[in-house]
Amino acid sequence: MSQPLSDRFAIASAQKLLETFSCLEVKPVESAAEAAQLQQALILLSTQADFVNFGICADTPEQGLAALASYAKALGYTVAIAPHDLAAAIAPVYIKFNGQRQTYYLDSYTGTYRGVLVSYHSLVEESVNGTYGYLPLDLFQ
């Protein structure tokens, strides 16, 4: 079944905004209004996707897991953060969150990128499939 034109327009607008944040460096969010628009775009696409995955690159486990918890909650997922991961003596870290399983994996990371990659997956609405980021770690905090 095809989406109404207004829904397709909203999705296309959300994708266009998110594409401006899809680069190698984290693009700063310039205002509270821009942050709100970015949050709304991410939430809209998550309602159209079957599931969402995150890739988080952060300086510390605490920073990365805080980003994971806030993005997961905002996009409708529940994630249980393991206390031993918060206390992990590794830095920087990479965290991969799988929205289908609602689980994550934390490991050391040697790269220089910092931020959140959000990847949307849908079998029905293929137009929402895509990866965006790096997005600010604290966007939903």
What confidence category does residue 25 fall into, taking pLDDT thresholds of 50, 70 and 90?
Answer: low
Flag whether 47 is in a domain. yes
Neighbouring-strand partners of residue 52: 120
Flag whether 140 is in a domain. no
Q: What is the mean pLDDT of residues 132-139?
A: 94
Cα–Cα distances in angstroms (integers) from residue 34 to residues 17, 103, 132, in the given order: 10, 30, 16
- The CATH number of whichever domain residue 70 belongs to comes to 3.30.360.10
Flag whether 119 is in a domain. yes
pLDDT of residue 138 exceeding 50: yes
Q: Taking all residues of the chain, what is their mean pLDDT, rounded to a whole number?
A: 89
What are the start-end ranges of the H helices in 49-102? 61-74, 83-86
Flag whether 66 is in a domain. yes
Domains in the chain: how many in total? 1
pLDDT of residue 102 exceeding 90: yes
Flag whether 141 is in a domain. no
Contact 94, 55 (CB under 8 A): yes
Joined tokens for residue 65: 């897991």
Can you give the pLDDT at residue 124?
A: 83
Joined tokens for residue 11: 């999705």
- What is the C-alpha separation between 95 and 54, in angstroms, rounded? 8
